[in-house]
Structures are given as structure tokens and as C-alpha cells.
Amino acid sequence: MATTRDDPSHRPIAQRIQGAAMALSLAVGFGLGIAAIETPDGLKRLNAASDFQAFLQGRTAAAINYALAHQLPVDGFFRAAGGVFRWRLFHSGGPQVWAGRDNWLYLIEELRPWPEAEANMAARADTLAKVRAKLAAQHIDLVVAIVPDKARVEHETMDGPRSAQADARLAAWLDLLAKRGIQPVDLNTTFMAQPNRPALFWRTDTHWSQVGSALAANTIAAAVTTKIDRSHQFKTTQDAAETDGPGDLLRLMSLDKIADGLWIPLRPPVDRQHLEHTAEAQAEPAGGLLDDGPQVEVTLVGSSYSVNANFAGHLQEALHAPVLNVAEAGGGFARAAQKYFTGKTFAETRPKLVVWEIPERVVGQPLVDDDKALAGWAEAAK
């Protein structure tokens, strides 16, 4: 006689299976929780909240909750699985990345409008003008270079929405600077004028490629009129081996750990590069160039564009002069400049020239503490 699904004789087997699955799930969860707590960051937080008073105040539980939320070993796996799912099924890069044609990726931060962008740009233009005036009073020249958005330069493969504010941003920013007597280096015109234009930005990264970096450095160097020592000879070389490019947009998509070359591609393939290095052809003896040798007359302040793709090296080669690079990744408009101008290095050793690299995408964003601190320095008595 056939039995039905509700036959009582089946219930003990089903219950045993459910019980075993529940026990296995609890065991796996417990093991993963212990692994999360035992990570260096998890142990550091737990050790700082391991006394009885911390337990009563809930800080011990908070430390454990943080570890479980941020340090689970499978967390990266699930994020990567979600990134693959979004990209393969919906051709989506997630909340921070726009997926264009031919595996080109773009930062949505470049495409969106920002509240009070006009006022923010005006405030930053005012600060820039005051910084220039304060430096000029100390006989220091300032050259400003605006890095155009990747979405502006490499627009052919974007195939996506760009806000009217983002479209008008560069022209509006240049107009604000012109009204304050500042004529920045026009990198966008140079980039767009290249015949048979090569890729000046990485396909899977927000930043310019080594080709774009070198072109920008040469354009900036050609605009420098400051009398500096240009007797130094620098040479740029490339590694023989080809390696992966930076790929920060893949990281924002949680796809940076996914392998390329699979039968079914699970992500846009990462850019490949021959990493570049720039060194002085006749370098000073050890400890000589910055410690005992001639003063470095050029300082570079800026953002991650000045940190990536050997830009500082290309600038040294184009200027035939050493460059002190104090740029900071993630520094936005003001962080590197604020830290440098208010720090010990600037107080003790004044350059003849400051090159300030500014990404177009940051100028309309909300003002932060670094912007306000730089404005305060610029307004203070000279």
C-alpha cells in the first residue's frame, strides 16, 4: 500500500534529517563565528572589551557583533557571488559602478548630481584663489591641473546616464577659476585632441592609465614657467613581465578576487600593464638627494591620480627636476594640500613651485573638514 507524504511512518526520518541539518548549520555557524572573532581585528576589539565592566556595559557584545558583521570568512565569498550575479544576469556593477560596453567600467560618483554643487564649487574656488595669493606672497608659484572625469574622456563606451550637472561641471568649474584669475592646465582639451586616441584611463579602474599619466605630466611640465633647476635627468623603464593593473572598480563590484580566463567570464577582465618606474639617471649617493643635496624645488599635492600610474615619476622626467610627492589617495580636493601647507615640511623647506592636481569629480561634492581647514589656513595671516 502506497504511503502518503503525511504518513506518520515518515515523520521520524524527516525529523531526523531536519535535526541533523539544524545541528550541522549550528556547528558551521559556530565555527565561522569563532573564526571571525579570532581574526587579528576581532581579537583586538575583543581584548579591549574583555573585562567585567565592559561586559556589563555591552561593549563585549558589541565587539563580538562587529566581528560577526565584518570578519566572517565567507563574507567575501558571498559578496563576490553577489557581484557575479549582478554582472552576469543584469550587466550591473552595483551601487557604485556603472557597467558600460566592451567591459568598460565607470564610477557612478562621476555621473550623479550633488546637492549645493554650485556653492561647493564656489567655496573651493575661493579657497584655491586664497591659497595662490598666500603662496605668491612667499614667492611660491602655483600650477593647477584639473583631471577630467573618466566618463568625460572615455565616453564612447559608457552607454549610460550622466546627470546634466555632471556634464556641465568642468565648464562651470573652469569659469569659476577664470573669474578669480586662475588659468589651470587644460588636460581635457589635450586628452580629447589626441589623434587615434589611445585609452588614457584604465578600463576597470577610475584612474588614468600610464599613457594618460605621461601625457598629463608632459602637458603640465610644458605650462611651467617657474625658474627651477632642470638639470636632472630621469628615465622611465617598464617591467618586462606583464601584470594585472589596479582595477579598483572591480573591487567596488566585489569582483577583484575572481579569476579571469574562465570558460564563462564571471567579471570584466582586469587591465594588464608593464609596471613603470622612474629614477634619476645619475642618482645622488645614498642619503644625498633629500638630506644633503640641493633643495627639492617642486612639490606635488593632489589625489590618488598623483599616486597612481607613475604620475610623479613622469612629472619628474618631464620637468627634469626632482618632485616631492605629498599627494594622498582618497584625499579629494583638500586633504593633501591642507596637511602639507600646515605641516613641518612646508614650514621648514619652502618650494619654488607647487603643482596641485585636482580631480574634476570632487569639486562639487559636499565640503568636508579638510576643505574647511585649508580655507582657514589660506585666510590666516601670512
Contact assessment for residue 249 and residue 93, using Cβ atoms and an 8 Å cutoff: yes
Per-residue model confidence (pLDDT) at position 1: 46
Worst-scoring range by mean pLDDT, 85-94, 145-154, 237-246, 284-293? 284-293
Query: Is residue 325 predicted with pLDDT exceeding 70?
Result: yes
Per-residue model confidence (pLDDT) at position 269: 97
Burial class (CB in 10 A: 0-12, 13-18, 19+), 15: exposed
Local confidence band at 282 (pLDDT 50, 70, 90 cut-offs): confident
Local confidence band at 44 (pLDDT 50, 70, 90 cut-offs): confident
Residues with Cβ within 8 Å of residue 351, at least 6 apart in sequence: 140, 295, 296, 297, 298, 299, 324
Local confidence band at 288 (pLDDT 50, 70, 90 cut-offs): very low
How far is it between the farthest Cα atoms of the chain?
102
Query: Is residue 287 predicted with pLDDT exceeding 50?
Result: no
Residues with Cβ within 8 Å of residue 186, at least 6 apart in sequence: 146, 219
What is the arithmetic mean of pLDDT over 323-332?
97
Per-residue model confidence (pLDDT) at position 327: 98
Burial class (CB in 10 A: 0-12, 13-18, 19+), 325: buried
What is the arithmetic mean of pLDDT over 73-78?
68
Local confidence band at 150 (pLDDT 50, 70, 90 cut-offs): very high
What is the arithmetic mean of pLDDT over 189-216?
95
Can you read off the three cell numbers belonging to residue 257? 578576487
Q: Which residues lie across from 272 on neighbouring strands?
A: 244
Write out pLDDT tens, residues 224-243: 999 999 999 999 999 999 99
Query: Is residue 19 predicted with pLDDT exceeding 80?
Result: no
Can you read off the three cell numbers belonging to residue 121? 564649487
Name the residue among 290, 151, 300 with its Cα closest to residue 221: 300
Residue indicated by cell numbers 585636482 = 358
Average pLDDT, the chain: 87
Per-residue model confidence (pLDDT) at position 75: 66
Per-residue model confidence (pLDDT) at position 26: 53
Worst-scoring range by mean pLDDT, 73-87, 183-197, 322-336? 73-87
Q: What is the dihedral of CA 237, 312, 272, 243, to 10 degrees?
A: 60
The reported pTM is: 0.81
**What's the CA angle centered on 9, arms 8 and 13, to 5 degrees?**
110
One-letter identity of residue 205: D
Contact assessment for residue 143 and residue 185, using Cβ atoms and an 8 Å cutoff: yes
